[in-house]
């Protein structure tokens, strides 16, 4: 998909891999790849916003877990954590993740396999 340095941190870049569109995200030194199709209404989920997981210890508090990227679908705002692709409100509901790794400083997608 290109050199690691080609990917801007915290930005999703949509690439074509085989027959599919895949969003590739660099998050610090980690990479995530997400099938660009929301399981809800088939929206282009990778056009959504990625941010650290917002959580709270008590009503009124807002905390961000910067280590856990969360993708919000632009169509209805449904949120998916990107370690496994799972919806924040139901771990059995998920976006499809694509295996991705860094080899010799290059980002490699394993198209045809499903991660997690």
Binding site residues, other proteins, CB under 8 A: 54-63, 72, 76-79, 87-90
DSSP per residue, 14-75: EEEETTEEEEEEEETTEEEEEES--TTT---GGGSEEEEEEE-SSTT--EEEEEEEEEE-TT
> At its nearest, how many Å lie between other proteins and the CB of residue 31?
24
Contact call for residues 96 and 86 (beta carbons, < 8 A): no
Select 3 or 49, whichever has its Cβ closest to other proteins.
Answer: 49
Q: What is the CB-side half-sphere exposure of residue 38 using CA atoms within 13 A? A: 21
Q: How far is the CB of 90 from other proteins (least distance, A)?
A: 8
Which of 15, 79 has the CB closer to other proteins? 79
Q: Cβ closer to other proteins: 57 or 104?
A: 57
Q: Name the residue nearer to other proteins (CB basis): 46 or 109.
A: 46
Nearest distance, CB of residue 56 and other proteins, angstroms: 4
Query: CB 4 → other proteins: shortest distance, Å?
Result: 30
């Amino acid at each position: 998909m290109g050199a690691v340095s080609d990917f801007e941190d915290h930005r999703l870049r949509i690439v074509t891999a085989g027959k599919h569109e895949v969003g590739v995200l660099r998050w610090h030194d980690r990479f995530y790849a997400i099938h660009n199709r929301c399981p809800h209404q088939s929206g282009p989920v990778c056009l959504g916003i990625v941010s650290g997981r917002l959580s709270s210890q008590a009503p009124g508090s807002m905390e961000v877990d910067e280590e856990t990227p969360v993708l919000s679908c632009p169509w209805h705002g449904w949120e998916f954590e990107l370690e496994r692709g799972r919806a924040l409100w139901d771990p059995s509901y998920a976006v499809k993740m694509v295996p991705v790794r860094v080899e010799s400083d290059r980002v490699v997608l394993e198209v045809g396999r499903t991660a997690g």
